[in-house]
Amino acid sequence: MTNFNKQNEEVKDSLDWEFYSLSYIQRTCRNWYEFMTSFPELNLRRMPFTLNSISRILRCYSYIFHWRDTTYKLFTPLGGAIKSVELIGNQRAQQTSFWSDKVIQVRSYPLSLAMIKGIPVPEYKLKQVEQFVANKLEGALKYQQQQAHITYNYRELQKLERHGLDLRLAEECHELLRSLKLPITSAHGDLHIENMILVDQEIRIIDWSMYNPNGSFVTDYIHFYNFAEAVRNNESWTVSIQKDQDFLRFLAQRVDTEPVLLKAIYTLNRIAAEASQFTNTSLLPVNQIDKYNSVLNHIVTSIKQNV
């Protein structure tokens, strides 16, 4: 079975951003002291709250707290736009036959979203999670296949050119995917173990801010396993997706294509989705753009050599 064990280092190193998301920290740190000590540069004995620590918190998009049977996701000023996107994604997902029974309805307040409280998936339930993902794939394969190009917004890639994205590589990858077809189911966009909770022992999916009505569960399936690989090895998803992995070979057989083409469609989807989270794309860290260029170069080269 895939190792989904959660580690505190996941919070700081596996997500690629220079921002620390308290929604992740909330699941991995048991209390405020443990959270603050996850920043080794802070001296808590001298001052538990420093300008640096407060600045880090304010630079988060959101954080989560619980009150009785309700979970609240409070958005900072930086996360205001994401609040609207997440609410819309949640509402749209509820209207689809593919996702509706796994969506928790959220209530909107001026600074927050609220939903029924669930619990993180415990380790003994991981087989159930993997079976859930396998069942969703089988359901997805019954949907009509369409051109894979419609699963990502190419304009989001173009916006990144002025920030250093090598658009030539993105265009080559885009062109090399013209023959690929996928079942169009809509996609969660960020499906992984941390975005799943248990409510009355049933799996429910949270955080629909990357919901894509034109997406395919195929890319969700890839992200579920690729995210786990990235966390396990404390690396970026842009590194883990370059590897030859068993789940990619299995998936390629099921959709009748080559693993490298699945890597390509996942990568373009992921870059476009991450870019869409920023109202100002200049906030994307420069090293993240470098990672995008590196994975695109690897994939384009691999496609030309193997397909």
Is 167 exposed, middle or buried (CB count within 10 Å of its CB: 0-12, 13-18, 19+)? middle
User: For the stretch 30-53, what's the b/e string if a residue is b when 16 or more beta carbons lie within 10 angstroms of its beta carbon?
Assistant: eeeeebbebeeebeeeeeeebeeb
- pLDDT score of 79: 73
**Residue 266 pLDDT grade (very low, low, confident, very high; cuts 50, 70, 90):** very high
CA torsion sign for 262, 135, 141, 275 is negative
* Reported pTM: 0.84
Mean pLDDT across the chain, nearest whole number? 84
Domain boundaries along the sequence of the chain: 9-306
Take residue 171 and report the two structure tokens written for it.
């265009």
Question: pLDDT higher for 10 or 290?
Answer: 290
Two tokens, residue 233: 């090895």
Ordered DSSP codes for 142-159: TSPEEEGGGGS-HHHHHH
- In this predicted structure, what is the pLDDT of residue 31? 43
Closest CA to 116 of 69, 63, 62, 68: 69
pLDDT at 272: 95
pLDDT band of 148, cuts 50, 70, 90: very high
pLDDT, mean of residues 9-17: 35
* Residues found in the chain: 307
Per-residue pLDDT, averaged over 101-130, amounts to: 93
